[in-house]
Structure 1
Amino acid sequence: MVAEVAGGRAPGLADVATRAGVSYQTVSRVINGHPSVAPLTRERVQRAIAELGYRPNRAARALVTGSSRTLGLVTVNIAQYGPAQTMIGLEKAARAAGYALSVTILDEATAEAMRTAVDDLVAHGVDAVVALSTYDDAADALSRLAPPVPLVAVQVGGADDRPAVAIDQEAGARMAVRHLLDLGHRTVHHLPGPADSQEARGRTDGWLAELGDAGAPVPDALPRGDWTPASGYAAGEALVARRRAGEEITAVFSANDQMSLGLLAALHEAGLSVPGDVSLIGFDDLPEAPYFVPPLTTIRQDFAELGRRGVDLLLGRLRGEDPHPEPVPPTLVVRASAGPPVGMAG
């Protein structure tokens, strides 16, 4: 509760100074964490702040310190699980570091929208900007921007002059394919994500690389999806048609869990069992994944760690450092949707 002072106004810096018996400058030093304050004096000021319920004025503090203690975030497709969880991870990490997060959500992943959003955040006085987008147009815009504050990217390819933090998409895809090959499948088919998504391409690259390292045949991919269950269902219909035409399809690596859900529905409607007829592995580890029928084997992304590393990267740039963080490693979560091909079980 904020105590009122004379005139019914909220307490200010001068009121804290009077209550603590110190100068205005000493209170300012305590609030801004300045080291040249005696411990007993610091304690007296902090007690006065608590008694009065004083809350620093962010705008005034920014004028004095040159810092708004606010980070800007530009993100696209927040309705999708991955971007939404990454935003939550970034917000928690920023709050833990003593920063607020100002968020701009773009309707479209275009270069113009990305440029405008970054300019608006800078105009509002943020200390630094983090951009979250895996789409090519937005990534290209980021590479061309030179704002007056640090700008880093999350889940999108970085550059020597602008490091990024990301989850290792290729490594996750390799884990999925290796697991299916180790179960005895001759090869693994792939349900890819959007062509203009760097995340989707990373997962496709990992699929191809692991098949190549294993000397396994590289089949034609299933029809490309757009991350939604509807596109996974359409890919499942195509899979069923190809099986009925005689193609051997016993294992599928899907680029995300939501498309896996649609694929499962199409296989079920066609009378094909999972994993009996077709094994399936997804990517993301949605909260609902353990409750799919069957429970979905998938690749888990650590979005909390991604957010922590993203904020650490921003703060390092603010300190004048040049960090180049390693990708966040994904993990394989084994459930019931993947098993040996028919004739090998047991």
Structure 2
Amino acid sequence: MTRQAGRDGSAAPRSVDVAHLAGVSQKTVSRVLNGERYVSAEVRRRVLEAAEELGYRLNNAARALASGRTRAIGVVTLGTALYGPASLLMGVERAVRDTGYALRVVNTLEGDLSGVAGAVDSLLEQGVDGIVISEPIDEGAVSLDVDVPILVLGAPVAFAGPRAVTAGIDAELMARVATEHLLDLGHTTVHHLAGPQRWFSAADRLAGWRAALAARGSTEPAAVEGDWSAASGYAAGRELVASGERVTAVFAANDDMAIGLIRALTEAGLRVPDDVSVVGFDDVPVAAYVTPPLTTVRQPFDAVAQEGLKRLVHAIENPDEDPLPPSDPPVDLVVRSSTAAPPPRPTPKRRTTSPGA
């Protein structure tokens, strides 16, 4: 990918070029272009003059100088079409629109260790008043040295910044509720079809399942790990059937894997829920229309996005005030026809002796 030419026909200037010409740090350039207050008038003048001379983002610089803010919020998110991350991004887009701010999105790639930090730098260069990080994969601790407020959605404190607020879904609690639903129906234990454990949400759902079993004193079967796809759920179902274990209930970490699992169980001659009960997670639109309709936990993507954006905008517009307190949405277990009481244990056949034995 080539950089656009600058005013003199050379490659487009970067913030580091502005910093060099103005005799300041790159971080100071970001502060000026973001309209932050803690920059002297002299330094601000030098940076803007350097930006003008180089032809670097003059519109953003002028807007930041005139208003003190760019009225833009940046979003860092994994580039994926998976239902959960994509739905959360759509919720963020709607919530940002309601705030009157513009939205700028930078996607990351799974396995790119510098992806989040690079995406944040890109947004700061574009000029944003705040940043939303919706990064579902654990790539290790990331310390973000930025002065604009950061909203972290769904991830733990691995993403740290001096003005960070959080909002998210308590996936561990939701997984506990899903598992407890099956235990309440009378199942002695619940098997788990887990998501890939590098994902924060998959690890949380695994932890919630384990906590629910431990609280009831139930045996913990070995979890089977999938990759979120229906195909991996189908493969896991075949694996469970081939294991010879008595399986009466399965909690799947997402609906797609649950649907693939049900297909494998059906092919093996097992009826859902008469022989095996299945609970999913997400409540994808098709969940109500599969056979049987799927019991699942509905994720409140819009509510989380609205709550998070409210906290982020408050931090942007009231930098000297304490952050707004978080609030957790209630767990919404949608009970349909894929769960029921367990089948009775088969009665062992009594051994008979032949006459004269």
Compute the TM-score of the two structures, normalised by the length of structure 2: 0.75
* Alpha carbons 1:136, 1:197 under 8 Å: kept: yes
Q: How does 1:97-112 map to 2 (within 5 A)?
A: 97-112=99-114
Higher relative contact order, chain-length normalized (CA < 8 Å, sep 6+) = 1
Alignment RMSD: 1.9
Aligned-partner Cα distance in 2 for 1:81–1:109: 20
Q: How does 1:177-188 map to 2 (within 5 A)?
A: 177-188=179-190
Identity of aligned residues (%): 46
Q: How does 1:1-346 map to 2 (within 5 A)?
A: 61-137=63-139, 140-141=141-142, 144-158=143-157, 162-222=164-224, 224-242=225-243, 245=244, 247-318=245-316, 319-320=318-319, 321-343=322-344
Code of the residue aligned with 1:89 in structure 2: it is G
Aligned-partner Cα distance in 1 for 2:124–2:131: 8
Q: Provide structure 1 residue ranges, at least 5 long, that are not aligned to the other structure.
A: 1-56
Q: Deviations over 1:294-334 (max 9, x none)?
A: 11000001000011012112112212233351333331000
The structure with the greater share of residues assigned to helix is 1
- The residue matched to 1:156 in structure 2 has which SS? coil
Aligned-partner Cα distance in 2 for 1:252–1:208: 13
Aligned-partner Cα distance in 2 for 1:330–1:130: 24
- Taking a change above 3 Å as real, the CA distance of residues 89 and 133 of structure 1, as seen in their structure-2 partners, is same
Equivalent residues, number: 281
Aligned-partner Cα distance in 2 for 1:149–1:197: 26
- The residue matched to 2:282 in structure 1 has which SS? coil
Q: CA deviation at 1:277?
A: 1.1
Q: Deviations over 1:69-122 (max 9, x none)?
A: 110001014311111111111111111111111111223253301111110000
Aligned-partner Cα distance in 2 for 1:128–1:109: 25
Q: Deviations over 1:156-206 (max 9, x none)?
A: 113695332110101111111111011111110101111111111111111
Aligned-partner Cα distance in 2 for 1:220–1:84: 30
Q: Provide structure 2 residue ranges, at least 5 long, that are not aligned to the other structure.
A: 1-58, 346-357
- The residue matched to 1:114 in structure 2 has which SS? helix
Greater shift after overlay, 275-284 or 75-84? 75-84
Aligned-partner Cα distance in 1 for 2:270–2:308: 43
Compute the TM-score of the two structures, normalised by the length of structure 1: 0.77
